[in-house]
Each structure stands twice: as C-alpha cells, then as structure tokens.
Amino acid sequence: MKIDILVAEIGSTTTVINAFDGIHGPCPMFIGQGQAPTSVLEGDVNIGLKDAIEDLKNNLKIDSIDYDELIATSSAAGGLRMTVHGLVYDMTVRAAKEAALGAGANIKYITSGKLRKTDIKKIVEINPNIILIAGGVDYGERDTAIYNSQIIAELNLNVPVIYAGNIENQEEIKEIFADSKSELYMVENVYPKIDELNIESTRKVIQDVFESHIINAPGMEKIRDMVTGPILPTPGAVMLSSQLLYEELGDLLTLDVGGATTDVHSVTEGSEEVSRILINPEPKAKRTVEGDLGVYVNMHNIVDIVGKDKLKENLSVSLEELEEIIANHKPIPVTKKEKKFVEELTYHAVVVALKRHSGSYRHLYGPNGKRTVAEGKDLTQVKYIVGTGGALTRLSRRMDIMRKIPKNNNGMELLPNEDVIMLIDNDYIMASLGVLSIKYPEASLKLLKNSLEID
C-alpha cells in the first residue's frame, strides 16, 4: 500500500504511528494507527518505530506499506529539561517560562535575580538540555543578565543557552560565551517593554534546539535513519494544532489528560473589560503543565485532592471496594468500576488543571475603598473546549466530563461560560497534525476538523 506520510509520536513508553494520505489534494484522509513499545532502552528508537509500522499494517490488514515522508513528535528521552533564569519573577522570568512551556519544554528550575551558589549547584544536578537566560526590558537593567551569563558560561556544561533578555547586552553576551562549550542562541527579548510579552521567537528556537537534542539522546541517535522531516516536542505540537484551529474557529482551549500529566493549552486574547484591569500581561497562546495530575502514574495525587470519602460517594462503592480499585489500578481500565474510577479521576484532573491555568478577579482595599483587579489568564471569551489525550478521547463519558467544566466557576474565576462548545479529538491525532501543519497547514486543518467532527 502506498501512502503520503507517516507521523510518529515517540513517547517514553509507547510509540504511535499515524498514517495520512491525500495530503496534496482536496480530501486528505486519516488512514489508520499502529503502536508498539518505545525502544529507547534497547539503544535504537527505530526498533519501536518499525514495530509500530508493523502494527499499523496488521490493523490495516495489508502486507506492505510505502510512504513518502516520516515526521515525528517526541517526549522520549525525558523530553526537554530546561532551567530559566531572569530578573524579576513577575516580569522577565514569567515571560521566559511562558515561552518555554508553549514550546513543549519541561521546566525543572526557575530563578530570579543574580544566581546564588545553591542555584548553581541545582543547575548542575538537573543537567538541563537547554538553559534560558532573560532579564531587563530593552535598554533597561543590564547587570543581572550579564552576571548570570558569566556564571553559566564558567560552568562549561556543553548545554545550549538561549539569551532572550535586554538587547543592549547582546554583544557582551556573545563575548562571554565565545570560549564556552555552550552553543549560544540570541533571540528577541521576551519582555521588551513593561506589560509586553514577546515569546514566539524564543519558542521557535527552543523547538529547533529540541530537535538537535532528541537526535543525540540515548537510544535516539539513529532516528534520522527513518525520520525524514521535523521532530517536535509532543506538547509543542499540540499547541501548534490549537493555534491552527484558533485561526479557523476563534478563542479556544485544549485539554490533554494523560497518565502522568494534564496539559492545558489556551489561545485567546480574553475580553477588553478584563484586559483593562489585568495586573500583568498574559500571552495569547498559553500552556500549563500539571505534573502532579495524571490518571495513572500520578493517580494517588488526584485521590488525595478529592478525598476517598468523596470518591466512594461519587462511585457508589464502599471504602473497601475503593481501596481495591486503587490497588489494582491499570493504565487502561477494563471493568465498569475501573472505567468509572478513571472517569472520576479525569474530571477532577481537568477541573484542577484548568483552575490553575486560568486567572481570577481580586478585590484590593485601599484609602479610596475597594478596587477590583484581574490576575492570570482570561478564558471568559473561549467558545470551544477541545479534548485530547488518552482519557478524553477514549472514555465513553468524555463529553459528560467536559460539559461539567463551566459549572465549577465560583463567580470570581475567569473560566469559560456555560455556552462553550465541546469538541473531541476522536482520532487522537492533534499532536501528529501539529507537526504536520508546519509543511501542510491546509491538509492538517481539514484532518483536524474531521477528527473533531465539525464542518
């Protein structure tokens, strides 16, 4: 069988292959999916890729498959570990963090101000794949970013460094890293002016660095033997799909519930009313990662948040039955009780993650009385909520779970309204379509709309 393109999603445990045809024509098609264990530990990820293609052939009931291109997303090899170092947390550090998360990085450490000895020790322990230095608006404070750059350059870690701070420092930063093992990337300031975020150029460089890193990671060295096109971080690819869909539908957010994390991606400017009282600027495209909210690996965290008494009441089981369900929890639920338990976990993971992602109103009291301000991401203009990830694409009550989301607003939170439209990534291909959209945006949008079952 001849098809146009295969997209691999290389996870830490599983590699999924999605097949697409008709990419160059008016009617692109999702052909099918295969999966296999990821083979990083065997020293060659191509083993898992080939096994996933074999599974795809078995699912399609064909003997052979020929393809023109193979592109990929990956969260294998630990994803992309980053540390971020800026001037003031609420300004440049926060802007750098938004850029990193939006690109799909896993932020392991954040500092503000000049690096201390304990910070340096922590950076060495983390052994990041990339270091992001920011600090100072353009033509503003210079010393902190220069000091931090000198300290990091002296570590000689052979780790790529992105400088995204005061542009007045650029020539000096180049000199600092001239003899360092670290490869230096210069980008536009992530916080060029007060109340202005500028994160897209930093996101692009992070994704480029990720591709270089992933090729050199243990077990991934031979990936270019099979992959012919770009390789993106899987969360960054989901963000690209969300941004692509925003251009078609308008304000939206995407919920990605997995076994280890729950990611929230929002693409919205928010309302003019809220923007006028917003304390700090927020990016139009924002991603947050809740590393403690997973329905398998981090299941116990959600159980602790909800409480066993509440869970047994919601599930209509005894405490003994609940303890048994928890003790025998599997990655993929089989029995009715197991499925109901995962649905409950998914609902609470989504609600908690979304509340952490969104902003809220606050009342400030001063000499002139009460003043209302807003802080955080305004989601009140969101018209669509998209569900992706294993839980929200495979559970039978996924739409019921998502419909409950707007009902959790306590009146002070900047959450979506109850008239929001729910969409499901039925084919579970958002990440694949994100990387596909780099070269084939029109085909990717059509395939995405097909998966979401919208015209």
Answer yes or no: is pLDDT of 218 > 70: no
**How far apart (Å, rounded) are the C-alpha atoms in residues 246 and 268?**
8
Confidence at residue 341, expressed as pLDDT on a 0 to 100 scale: 95
Nearest by Cα to 382 from 423, 420, 353, 350: 420
What burial class does residue 398 get, using C-beta atoms within 10 Å of its C-beta: 0-12 exposed, 13-18 middle, 19+ buried?
Answer: buried
Mean pLDDT of 295-309: 92
Answer yes or no: is pLDDT of 236 > 90: no
**Could you tell me if 435 and 240 are in contact, meaning their C-beta atoms sit under 8 angstroms apart?**
yes
Confidence at residue 78, expressed as pLDDT on a 0 to 100 scale: 57
48-50-55 Cα angle (round to 5): 90
Give the model's confidence band at 178: pLDDT under 50 very low, under 70 low, under 90 confident, else very high: very high
Confidence at residue 204, expressed as pLDDT on a 0 to 100 scale: 86
Answer yes or no: is pLDDT of 76 > 70: no
What does pTM read for this prediction? Answer: 0.84
82-87-91 Cα angle (round to 5): 90
Superfamily per CATH, domain 2-77+217-229: ATPase, nucleotide binding domain (3.30.420.40)
The arrangement of secondary structure in 233-452, i.e. its CATH architecture, is 2-Layer Sandwich (3.30)
Task: Bin 264: left if φ > 0, else alpha if -120 < ψ < 50, else beta.
Answer: beta
Name the segment(s) of the chain with CATH classification 3.30.420.40: 2-77+217-229
Answer yes or no: is pLDDT of 12 > 90: no
Average pLDDT, the chain: 91
Name the segment(s) of the chain with CATH classification 3.40.50.360: 81-210
In the chain, the percentage of residues whose pLDDT exceeds 90 is 67
CATH number of 81-210: 3.40.50.360
**How far apart (Å, rounded) are the C-alpha atoms in residues 402 and 322?**
24
Nearest by Cα to 45 from 231, 205, 208: 231
